């Protein structure tokens, strides 16, 4: 359900933003056709795509659409279900010994939880365990951050391409001054379309999607850190009460109550 609500936030946000801009323009008496500029669109898009291609690689140019789609579903953060699961593992490991987890491990869906518990079952030293998991997390986080950075980079290039487009348009206009003033006005208006597109794309698409991806990275890191804390507790054979104190901090107030409810049942 939370997943559902979030699913549509990218589309809804674009709708509100673009819709509001157009509504304001129309109320002001403008015809939306006046805002259409094919040359401006070509300049902004190919300029931004070109700069991104030089910045990284051809593949990078092909990633943004997929990343926008990826940003649609909500990144799962630390959930009461995960906390619950970690608590149960901690109890089982304390009661029946760490090796009792062996059968469950390979069926786990989360990569880090599976790897962590496998290392625990294999008897890896506590220090090395944490080091391996932290290193994995850092590398995965870095990759996700690079993806978010791609959008920030696009958000930086897009407005300057808009300025380039507008200046080119003005150069065009200035070369033919002295003609009909109405036509002149329309030509200048056309030149400004590039600025509109450049700033608009940056502020309604590139930067906001970049922000969302960075938020998702934070959720991702939080979830994985909860797992690291949990796995280490399991290895140390800490008391379920202490594990619960450690884990609870990762949850929202109402999620803590959910956890409590499950526990006392």
209 binds a copy of itself (CB under 8 A): yes
81, 96, 126, 218: which one binds a copy of itself (CB under 8 A)? 218
Token digits for 186? 């329309």
Q: From the CB of 70, what's the least distance to a copy of itself, in Å? A: 14
- Rounded to 5°, the CA angle 187-192-198 comes to 145
170 binds a copy of itself (CB under 8 A): yes
Instruction: Please choose, out of 85-93, 101-109, 152-160, 257-265, the segment that lies near a copy of itself by the rule CB under 8 A.
Output: 152-160
Residue 92 makes CB contacts below 8 A (sequence gap 6+) with 100, 101
| Cβ proximity to a copy of itself, 81 vs 142, nearer residue | 142
Residue 77 falls in which region: left (phi positive, over 0), alpha (psi -120 to 50) or beta: beta
Q: Are 154 and 211 in contact (CB under 8 A)?
A: no
What is the C-alpha separation between 100 and 89, in angstroms, rounded?
A: 9
261 binds a copy of itself (CB under 8 A): no
Site for a copy of itself in 228-257 (CB under 8 A): 229, 241-242, 245-246, 249-250
70, 85, 203, 262: which one binds a copy of itself (CB under 8 A)? 203
Site for a copy of itself in 91-150 (CB under 8 A): 115, 118-119, 122, 124, 128, 132, 135-136, 139-140, 142, 146
Q: Are 112 and 136 in contact (CB under 8 A)?
A: yes
Length of the chain: 265
Q: Are 132 and 111 in contact (CB under 8 A)?
A: no
67, 76, 108, 184: which one binds a copy of itself (CB under 8 A)? 184
The size of the interface with a copy of itself (CB under 8 A), counted in residues, is: 110
Site for a copy of itself in 13-52 (CB under 8 A): 13-21, 23-25, 27-30, 34-35, 38-40, 42-43, 45-47, 49-52
**Closest residue by Cα to residue 63 from 143, 154, 7, 147:** 147
| Cβ proximity to a copy of itself, 18 vs 261, nearer residue | 18
Residue 134 to residues 112, 129, 130, 232, 235, Cα–Cα distance (Å): 10, 9, 6, 12, 16
163 binds a copy of itself (CB under 8 A): yes
């Amino acid at each position: 359900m939370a997943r559902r609500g979030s699913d549509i936030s990218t589309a809804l946000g674009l709708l509100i933003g673009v819709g509001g801009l157009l509504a304001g323009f129309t109320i002001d008496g403008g015809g939306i056709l006046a805002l259409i500029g094919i040359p401006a669109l070509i300049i902004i898009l190919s300029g931004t795509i070109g700069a991104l291609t030089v910045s990284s690689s051809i593949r990078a140019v092909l990633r943004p659409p997929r990343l926008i789609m990826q940003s649609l579903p909500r990144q799962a953060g630390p959930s009461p279900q995960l906390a619950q699961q970690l608590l149960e593992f901690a109890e089982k490991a304390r009661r029946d010994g760490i090796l009792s987890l062996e059968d469950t491990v390979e069926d786990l869906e989360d990569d880090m939880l599976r790897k962590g518990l496998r290392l625990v079952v294999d008897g890896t030293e506590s220090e090395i365990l944490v080091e391996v998991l932290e290193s994995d997390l850092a590398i995965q986080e870095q990759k996700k951050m690079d993806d978010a950075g791609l959008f920030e980079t696009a958000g930086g290039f897009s407005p300057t391409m808009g300025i380039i487009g507008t200046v080119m348009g003005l150069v065009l206009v200035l070369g033919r001054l002295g003609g009909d003033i109405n036509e002149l006005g329309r030509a200048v208006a056309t030149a400004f379309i590039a600025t509109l597109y450049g700033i608009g794309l940056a502020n309604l698409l590139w930067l906001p999607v970049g922000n969302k991806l960075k938020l998702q990275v934070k959720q991702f890191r939080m979830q994985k850190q909860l797992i690291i804390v949990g796995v280490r507790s399991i290895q140390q054979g800490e008391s379920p009460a202490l594990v619960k104190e450690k884990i609870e901090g990762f949850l929202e107030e109402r999620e803590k109550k959910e956890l409590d409810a499950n526990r006392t049942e």
